[in-house]
Amino acid sequence: MKLKVGLDIHGVITDDPDKYRLLAETIIRGGGEIHILSGSAIPNLKKELEKYKIPFTHIFSITTHHEDLGAKVEWIKGLPYMADELWDPTKAEYCKKHGVHFMIDDSPIYEIFFDKEDTHYLKFGGKKTGGGG
């Protein structure tokens, strides 16, 4: 079985890029997958990952996903906003669909949507994040 780990960017990778780079490199070298799951649009996420030099095998944007499905996204000061009932369950749905074993995130908002039979949601830190998280 392939190990699949999901990583949030803001509040996780940004908190200690060196540590998460080491984690990502080690998992990928071992044949596992690193799934980056974040709020912002894909080009923004790629730029950030490049800046922090984080390797990954998969990348997913809540915003790009819902835009592709036709949702209305509002951009305020560079951060995307949409209805909470669309936004909040998205990471859990992705992890279930793709068989992600562990999701490391700093948001308490997403936790209730995760079923531990599918994905262990490992909440790092304790700050409540809004759009873009």
Sites of contact with Mg ion (CB under 5 A): 8, 10-11, 106, 129, 133
The nearer residue to Mg ion, 65 or 70, going by C-beta atoms, is 65
Nearer to Mg ion, 57 or 129 (CB): 129
110 DSSP assignment:
S
Strand order of the sheet with strand 58-61? 58-61, 33-38, 4-7, 102-105, 120-123
**Minimum separation from the CB atom of position 129 to Mg ion (A):** 5
What minimum distance in Å lies between the beta carbon of 124 and Mg ion? 9
Q: How far is the CB of 14 from Mg ion (least distance, A)?
A: 8
CA distances from 53 to 19, 21, 40, 47, 105 (A): 11, 7, 18, 10, 19
Complex with Mg ion: residue 60 or 117, whichever CB lies closer: 60
Bridge-partner residues for 74, per DSSP?
Answer: 81
